[in-house]
Structure 1
């Protein structure tokens, strides 16, 4: 098999099963693990997958810019948002991070619900600016122009002033062994702080983000208490997360 055919088959395999090992690819393609390791490095350098120890993992399929994500997979995000609404109760202080799933959730908060929302997301603030009973606190900082959120020291400092009941985060990538990851270093720091300062963390994730990984580490998957997805909780693909002690909803 020529090199280009091999690279194409590796990409197809990673796209289909999300993560692959050197051993499995070596066996299926009938080449040495060293050859597969070099192939994976080539594909990783091109940004087509993420090389990890012993194999490779798919990148998250979501677009990086918020404007592009607004139109991506919105039906599934609305399913996730409507399920996540179940956990928000009157009187709570909640963190809402950036992300189109979180914006969809903010749009569903009932007009008579009395809550305090702390967020660094401009779209979330825009949704809640006319909410009659929600107290909205904005965590200022430096603008991240691709996410329409604030990031940096000032944002982190703002979140550290609260002890929230819930932290609801929109997942970029989640993997059972590689944990929660994202595409921006400062975004990862903010999300980590939000999770640390909340009593419970709920991750909103469509199924296409599961078993993927990016470069910047937020924390282990066990830092998440609940994963809310767009499929049924008994989906076999979610078993590995249940085994880690995470509630699936």
Structure 2
């Protein structure tokens, strides 16, 4: 098998399985683990897959721009949003990050819920401006034109002044080993600040984002409390998250 064909098969396997170990790929391709390791590095350098310790992992399937994401998997996000509503109680301070899944939760918020909604997302602030009982705190800063959120030190400092009862994180990628990661450095810093200043962290993730990884690190998986997703999770993966103290619903 020539190198190009081997790397093509390696890439297809990782994208199909989401994650693969060196030994697994070595057997599949009938080459040494050192050869597999070199192939993974070359493919990772090209941005095709993500190299992790002991193997490789797929990139998130989510496009980076908000406009490209807002009409994707709408039904799945509505399933997640309905689950999220069970975590919102009257009188709470609730942080919504800039993810489209967080937007779905804000859009589904019943009119009789009385909360303080905190966000750095222009679309979420717009959704909630007509809500009869939700007070909205919108954090300023530099505009990220891909995500329609404010970012930077001003936004981070504002987040540090709030202790949210519950926070909703729209997830780009989540993996047991790699943790929560994202494609945008500024977004990673914002999410990290939210995690550090919240009592309960609810990760909103469609099933296809599990076992994927990106370049910018947010936090380990055990920093969050619950993952809400749209489909049943593989039993082995479910158990692995449970052992790290993370519930999946």
TM range (shorter): over 0.9
1:95-127: CA deviations, max 9, x gaps?
Answer: 100111111110100111100001000110010
Return the alpha-carbon distance in structure 2 between the equivalents of residues 73 and 45 of structure 1.
29
Counterpart for residue 102 of structure 2? 102
- How many Å apart are 1:190 and its aligned residue? 0.8
- How many Å apart are 1:235 and its aligned residue? 4.7
Contact 2:207 2:233 in 1 (8 A): no
Q: Does 1:172 align with 2:178?
A: no
1:59-85: CA deviations, max 9, x gaps?
Answer: 110111100001211111111111111
Q: Does 1:136 align with 2:130?
A: no
Counterpart for residue 231 of structure 1? 231
* Structure 1, 70-79 or 225-234: larger mean CA deviation: 225-234
Return the alpha-carbon distance in structure 1 between the equivalents of residues 235 and 30 of structure 2.
33
1:6-58: CA deviations, max 9, x gaps?
Answer: 11111111112111122221122111222212211221122111112221111
Counterpart for residue 90 of structure 2? 90
Return the alpha-carbon distance in structure 2 between the equivalents of residues 185 and 29 of structure 1.
35
Q: Helix, strand or coil: the match of 1:16?
A: helix
Q: Helix, strand or coil: the match of 1:162?
A: coil
Counterpart for residue 47 of structure 2? 47
Counterpart for residue 150 of structure 1? 150
Return the alpha-carbon distance in structure 2 between the equivalents of residues 99 and 194 of structure 1.
13
1:138-176: CA deviations, max 9, x gaps?
Answer: 011111111111111000001111111001110111001
- How many Å apart are 1:232 and its aligned residue? 3.7
Counterpart for residue 30 of structure 2? 30
Counterpart for residue 196 of structure 1? 196
Q: Please, what TM-score do these two structures have when normalized by structure 2? A: 0.97
Q: Helix, strand or coil: the match of 2:82?
A: helix
Report the count of equivalent residues. Answer: 249
Contact 2:52 2:178 in 1 (8 A): no
- How many Å apart are 1:218 and its aligned residue? 0.5
Return the alpha-carbon distance in structure 1 between the equivalents of residues 7 and 72 of structure 2.
28
Q: Helix, strand or coil: the match of 1:177?
A: coil
Q: Helix, strand or coil: the match of 2:140?
A: coil
RMSD: 1.2
